[in-house]
Amino acid sequence: MKKVIGVLLLTIILLLCGGAYFFFTKLPQVFKEQQEKIVEEEIEQIPYKEVQIGEDGLSSKLYYNTYSDEEKLAYREILQGVLDHDETITIHTTSHEKAFDIFEDVIKDHGEIFWCDGEVETVTYEEPETYIEMEISYNFSKEERVEKQGIIDNEIDNIILQIDPYWSEYEKVLFVYRYLVLNTDYDMSAPDNQNIYSVFGNKVSVCAGYAKAFQVLMERLGIPASYVIGIAREENHAWNIVTCEGQNYFVDVTWGDPIFTGESPAIPNQESYVIYDYMCTSYEQMSKTHTFEEVERLPACESMACNYYVRNGLYHDAYDPGYAMEVLNQSINNRMNEYVFKYSNEAAYQGAQPDLINNVIPTVASNLAAQLGYSQVEYYYMDDTELNKVTIFWQY
């Protein structure tokens, strides 16, 4: 431990000074006592990070509010140090593991921190009391941080200007979801892909960038949002929780991007195509494809009221073939490129899927061919057994 090394060095210095003392036998005893007192006082002054951040500004932060008062102090010390771009931060905790956990939660709670992705080393000191010193690695210098912050702020301002302040919370969440999907490309080799600069500066990112960008935009709009990590498709993944119209929902912007899910010739105008299964969904729906880390720390997400498919009448508890025929014919009359049937439960989906594919869709396609004067028309469908969903794409 570094403290032990410090003690050994101090011992060597004192031994050298002792030799000098015996050589200069006329040095007064009071000088030695004063020196020992100064050394003792210096050791006892632990350089804890001075904190200006109050608790009020952190009241909406998900992970901050899971800690005890003592742990919250360490959290604020870390946050203050990162905001100040300190390379070393001394905090009130005695555990390496707890220090790492709190540091990770600071980064998760604060998507706006793009200059630090979470690389840190800790050193334990044992005297005069046990405490932790954290050595922080930063992605950018202070000068680079200022430059990139200007680019980020300008992009965020431009996005906010496109949002009508009189829109409902649902409309604002939907706009941001769509904006990030349509204006960001998914690329695992993207630079800075663990922070928001990849999204707002480079327009290319991975799940961490998407989720932090969504978090930052929501908070700018006054809508509480948090960053969540876990596993999806057997890989580490990140997404969000958002509080919309009084209820908590999961949002996964990354999985709204068809570039991530894979290109398909069935999807017309794919560059403007958005997948909405993860636009405000419940734990029950999300857990079909996502595994949560520390789910006990997360607020309950039980509602589907703000889910895109629910809001647009595309979410069904049971299958009605007559209704399916009617709405598909309407979709053709309105020249819609796609239509979705999403079912709330597997039984309803299993009842709908074979009839939709083998009867309803071909019949409606024949109606389309008759309208266009063709002997036949092309159409495609995607059958998603995992999400209880059938999507039809019309080719006009």
Tens digits of pLDDT across the chain (396 residues): 322 222 222 222 222 233 222 222 233 443 344 444 444 445 568 889 999 999 888 999 999 999 999 999 999 999 999 999 999 999 999 999 999 999 999 999 999 999 998 789 999 888 788 899 999 999 999 999 999 999 999 999 999 999 999 999 999 999 999 999 999 999 999 999 999 999 999 999 999 999 999 999 999 999 999 999 999 989 999 999 999 999 999 999 999 988 755 555 566 677 788 999 999 999 999 999 999 988 999 999 999 999 999 999 999 999 999 999 999 999 998 989 899 999 999 999 999 999 999 999 999 999 888 887 877 778 899 999 999 999 999 887
d(CA 271, CA 137): 37
Which pair of tokens denotes residue 286? 């999300």
Residue 295: enclosing H or E segment and its boundaries? none
CA-closest candidate to residue 104, choices 242, 213, 228: 228
**Which residues, in sequence order, are bridge partners of residue 125?**
131
Residue 89: enclosing H or E segment and its boundaries? strand 88-91
Q: Helix 321-333 and helix 346-355: axis angle, to 10°? A: 60
Which pair of tokens denotes residue 299? 């607020």
A 10 A CB-CB count for 62 gives 18
Which pair of tokens denotes residue 323? 């209704």
Please report the pLDDT score of residue 373 as a whole number: 81
Please report the pLDDT score of residue 231 as a whole number: 96
**Which residues, in sequence order, are bridge partners of residue 381?**
392
Q: How far apart are the first and last CA of the chain?
A: 71
Measuring CA to CA, how many Å separate 65 from each of 68, 78, 102, 230? 8, 15, 11, 20
* pTM of structure: 0.86
d(CA 326, CA 364): 9
CA-closest candidate to residue 284, choices 312, 257, 315: 315
Which pair of tokens denotes residue 90? 């001394």
Please report the pLDDT score of residue 307 as a whole number: 98
d(CA 336, CA 342): 17
d(CA 395, CA 368): 10
Residue 356: enclosing H or E segment and its boundaries? none
Please report the pLDDT score of residue 201 as a whole number: 97
